[in-house]
Amino acid sequence: QVQLMESGGASVQAGGSLRLSCAGSKSFRSSSKCVAWFRQAPGEEREGVASIYAGGDSTNYADSVKGRFTISQDNAKNTVYLQMNSLKPEDTALYYCAATLFSFIDCGINERNYKNWGQGTQVTVSS
């Protein structure tokens, strides 16, 4: 499986922006069909944030982040990004990058479809 490493998490003020990176040890296109971002806040269940098809640019977003977050990929760098704008305190969470092992009709953000996970990067948004 491709090894995943997240980076870019930080503490920011509400309304600010961050760009998270998910670097793979090898090509996502050759090893995975979908790459996604999930997040989990203390005391909360893990939530799917956004996904992207590694073989193209098809994306999917949670309603809570539509219009604020953008997922993208740079295949040459084996990296998937999550650009987060207009951050809110409720965006505070540990953000995980994950990849599927199989093909799906749509990547989606169903946690059960993602079997390969990174260690997470912390995002803290203060009011």
- Give the tens place of pLDDT for each residue, 57-106: 799 999 999 999 999 999 889 999 999 999 999 999 999 999 998 877 78
Query: What is the reported pLDDT for 57?
Result: 79
Question: Where does the pLDDT of residue 43 fall: very low under 50, low under 70, confident under 90, or very high at 90 and above?
Answer: very high
Three-class SS state of 104: coil
At a CB cut-off of 8 Å and minimum separation 6, what does 32 contact? 2, 24, 54, 99, 100, 101, 116
DSSP H helices, 1-127, are 28-31
Q: How far is CA 36 from the centre of its chain?
A: 4
Contact 50, 71 (CB under 8 A): yes
Tell me what percent of the residues of the chain surpass a pLDDT of 90. 83
d(CA 107, CA 52): 7
pLDDT tens column, 2-12: 899 999 999 99
Distance of alpha carbon 51 from alpha carbon 55, whole angstroms: 12
Q: What is the mean pLDDT of the chain?
A: 94
